[in-house]
């Protein structure tokens, strides 16, 4: 019998009747984009939910990265992590910036602050870390280095929606943080994203930059881009904000169950919650030690796929191994031992708000019965 497909995630979708009512409002107003009413309400609601002072929403999660670099005039070299989704490094490339990859630490999956200083050159202007899987980077150490060398810090916080450390949003770290509201993320607007900034002046500048640089009807203050979010997606986001806490709660239950069952499996490791951190359970990465588990990561991955379980090898291959970047001096395996090791061992298990107990059991059985 053909088994149903189990996907790694599932998009958070608003109630269709409620969405339709909001679409009716848009139809009545005949204002579909350019800082419309839902756009403004969505930004205000996000500030409140995320506990941040200023946010600017975008049409996807990549343009906020590109725009942050533009807004801060970043050039030369930027220190970043190879263990991420490729958009992180692409944003540097689109700004003509040379990426310098620094290895990660195995405890957080994020850039290892102990290795940053030796990668700094006179051309270094910024650090772009990633809170990968929503696990907070070692932000204090990163900021101390940035302060010492006069560098900017832009966090790719695409996975870090709603993450708090001791009650404070992780999005307040560094100079700016970016979010992605792609359908695969914990909180989504189909496509979408945002840039979290520190002050009203920077928010104003970002709002110009995402609208071609327009600062008024006839005034263009910078070579901006079109990154504006439309009213349909802002409405979608407003509705999803009402149910994201419930979705995170469901995801948490899935994570708790995985941990209970997998803790005793030889050769499979995973992370526990960090003390004082509010997690969002966007991903459930496990790491396969082939020797101890008796099967390689890829053998387990393809076995699951044959059973209709579409787990994902996030983040394999490393960004530094893609053709655009593999020629860079910092892209060698010797420079990136931890990232290489993690990319070769990881599988992200299915986790989302609608995953049933039966489907989770199928995933667990696939891992237990080797
Ligand atoms: C999803 C993601 C992005 C890009 O977001 P889009 O909304 O798909 O453009 C950037 N960085 C990371 C780490 C991501 O996972």
**Domains with residue ranges and CATH for the chain:** 16-241 (3.40.640.10), 244-368 (3.90.1150.10)
How far, in Å, is the centroid of ligand 1 from the Cα of 80? 15
277-319: per-residue pLDDT in tens? Answer: 999 999 999 999 999 999 999 999 999 999 999 999 999 999 9
CA of 184 to the centre of ligand 1 (A): 9
Is the separation of the CB atoms in 290 and 258 below 8 Å? no
Pocket test for ligand 1, best of 9, 66, 85 (most atoms within 8 A of CB): 85
Q: Are 168 and 196 in contact (CB under 8 A)?
A: no
Residues 109, 282 contacting (CB under 8 angstroms): no
Model confidence at 21, pLDDT cuts 50, 70, 90, reads: very high
The verdict on the CB of residue 91 being under 6 Å from ligand 1 is: no
319 close to ligand 1 (CB < 6 Angstrom)? no
Atom from ligand 1 closest to the CA of residue 185: 1
Q: Please answer whether residues 65 and 227 qualify as being in contact, where contact means their C-beta atoms are separated by less than 8 angstroms.
A: no
Structure tokens at 129: 């870390």
Phi, then psi, of 121 in degrees rounded to 5: -125, 175
* Ligand 1 pocket check for 89: Cβ under 6 Å: no
Burial 38-63 (b: 16+ CB within 10 A, else e): bbeebbebbeebbebebbbbbbbbbb
Instruction: Answer yes or no: is pLDDT of 37 > 90.
Output: yes
Ligand 1 pocket test: pick from 87, 155, 233, 237 the residue with the most ligand atoms within 8 Å of its Cβ.
Answer: 87
Place of tokens 């459930």: 284
- Rounded to an integer, the average pLDDT of 91-100 is 98
Q: Is 69 in the pocket of ligand 1 (CB under 6 A)?
A: no
**84 has a pLDDT exceeding 50:** yes
* Span 243-267, average pLDDT: 98
**pLDDT surpasses 70 at 238:** yes
pTM for the whole structure: 0.97
| Residues with Cβ within 8 Å of residue 136, at least 6 apart in sequence | 108, 110, 160, 163, 165, 170, 274, 277
Q: Is the CB of 352 under 6 A from ligand 1?
A: no
Please tell me if the CB atom of residue 68 comes closer than 6 angstroms to any atom of ligand 1. Answer: no
Nearest CA to ligand 1 atom 6: 61
Q: 68, 104, 156, 225: which to mutate for ligand 1, most atoms within 8 A of CB?
A: 156
Average pLDDT rounded to a whole number, residues 245-252: 98
Residue ranges with strand state E in 41-200: 54-58, 77-80, 98-101, 124-128, 152-156, 164-165, 168-169, 176-180, 193-197
Phi/psi for 124 (5° steps) reads -70, 130
- Per-residue pLDDT tens for 114-140? 999 999 999 999 999 999 999 999 999
Could you report the per-residue pLDDT of 206-219, keeping only the tens digit for each?
999 999 999 999 99
Residue 370: per-residue pLDDT: 78
Confidence at 2, pLDDT banded by 50, 70, 90: low
Looking at residue 1, its pLDDT comes to 44
- 211 CA to centre of own chain: 24
pLDDT(82) > 80 = yes
DSSP assignments along 188-206, one per residue: --SS-EEEEESSHHHHHHH
CB 47 within 8 A of CB 200: no
DSSP letter assigned to residue 212: T
Whether the predicted pLDDT of 249 surpasses 80: yes
Ligand 1 centre from 60 Cα, in Å? Answer: 8
Q: Which residues contact 237 (CB under 8 A, 6 or more apart)?
A: 42, 46, 57, 181, 187, 189, 192
Angle at 44 between CA 183 and CA 228, to 5 degrees: 55
């Amino acid at each position: 019998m053909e088994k149903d497909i189990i996907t790694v995630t599932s998009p958070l979708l608003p109630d269709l009747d409620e969405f339709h009512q909001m679409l009716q409002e848009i139809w009545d107003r005949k204002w579909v984009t350019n800082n419309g009413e839902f756009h403004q309400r969505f930004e205000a609601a996000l500030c409140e939910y995320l506990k941040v002072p200023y946010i600017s929403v975008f049409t996807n999660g990549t343009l906020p990265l590109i725009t942050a670099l533009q807004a801060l005039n970043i050039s030369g070299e930027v220190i970043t992590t190879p263990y991420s989704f490729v958009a992180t490094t692409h944003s540097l490339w689109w700004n003509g910036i040379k990426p310098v990859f620094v290895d990660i630490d195995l405890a957080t999956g994020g850039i290892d602050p102990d290795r940053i200083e030796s990668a700094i050159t006179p051309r270094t202007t910024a650090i772009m870390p990633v809170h990968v899987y929503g696990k907070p980077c070692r932000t204090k150490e990163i900021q101390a280095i940035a302060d010492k060398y006069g560098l900017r810090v832009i966090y790719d916080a695409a996975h870090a929606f709603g993450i708090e450390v001791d009650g404070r949003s992780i999005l307040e770290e560094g100079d700016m943080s970016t979010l992605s509201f792609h359908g695969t993320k914990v909180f989504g607007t189909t496509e979408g994203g945002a840039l979290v900034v520190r002050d009203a002046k920077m928010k104003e500048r970002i709002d110009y930059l995402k609208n071609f640089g327009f600062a008024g009807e006839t005034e263009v203050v910078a070579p901006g881009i079109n990154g504006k979010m439309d009213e349909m997606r802002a409405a979608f986001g407003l509705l999803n904000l009402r149910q994201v806490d419930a979705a995170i709660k469901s995801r948490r239950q899935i994570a708790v169950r995985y941990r209970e069952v997998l803790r005793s499996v030889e050769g499979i490791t995973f992370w526990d919650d960090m003390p004082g951190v509010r997690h969002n359970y966007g991903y459930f990465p496990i790491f396969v030690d082939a020797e101890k588990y008796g099967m390689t990561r890829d053998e387990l991955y393809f076995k699951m796929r044959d059973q209709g379980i579409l787990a994902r090898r996030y983040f394999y291959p490393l960004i530094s191994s893609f053709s655009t970047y593999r020629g860079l001096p910092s892209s060698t395996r010797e420079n990136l031992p931890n990232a290489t090791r993690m990319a070769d061992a990881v599988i992200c298990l299915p986790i989302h708000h609608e995953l049933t107990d039966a489907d989770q059991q199928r995933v667990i059985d696939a891992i237990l019965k080797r």
